Amino acid sequence: MITAQDDDSALRIDGFEATAALLDLLLWSGPTSMIPTREAVMKWRATLTARGPGFASLVAECDEWLMPEQEAKE
């Protein structure tokens, strides 16, 4: 299982469905002990972007999660 902060190997190698399920758990439905840092989500976003247009909806999920912090800084 991917740790919320460091290892993004599952996001690099798993198929779309498994990756989507994992990202949903980490971003939205996991326990509070799994809440990721902004830096971790930015790393995951870069990993998913590199996987190509088939993962664009997952990049958008990362963007949505990051947005509240971006708005707070404006």
Task: Tell me: pLDDT of 58 over 80.
Answer: yes
Residue 44 domain-assigned? yes
Domains in the chain, number: 1
Tell me the one-letter amino acid at 39. Answer: E
In a domain, 4, yes or no: no
Residue 2 inside a domain? The answer is no
Cβ neighbours of residue 35 closer than 8 Å, sequence gap 6 or more: 4
* pTM for this prediction: 0.81
| 38-51 confidence digits (pLDDT tens) | 999 999 999 999 99
Give residue 36's Cα distance to chain centre.
9
Residue 16's pLDDT is 96
Determine the structural domain holding residue 28 and report its residue range.
9-73
Q: How confident is the model at residue 1 (pLDDT cuts 50, 70, 90)?
A: very low
Residue 1 placed within a domain:
no
DSSP string of the chain, one letter each residue: ---SSS--HHHHHS-HHHHHHHHHIIIIIS-GGGPPPHHHHHHHHHHHHHT-GGGHHHHHHHHHHHHHHHHHH-
Q: Say if 20 falls within a structural domain.
A: yes
Dump pLDDT digits (tens) for 8-36.
888 999 999 999 999 999 999 989 888 89
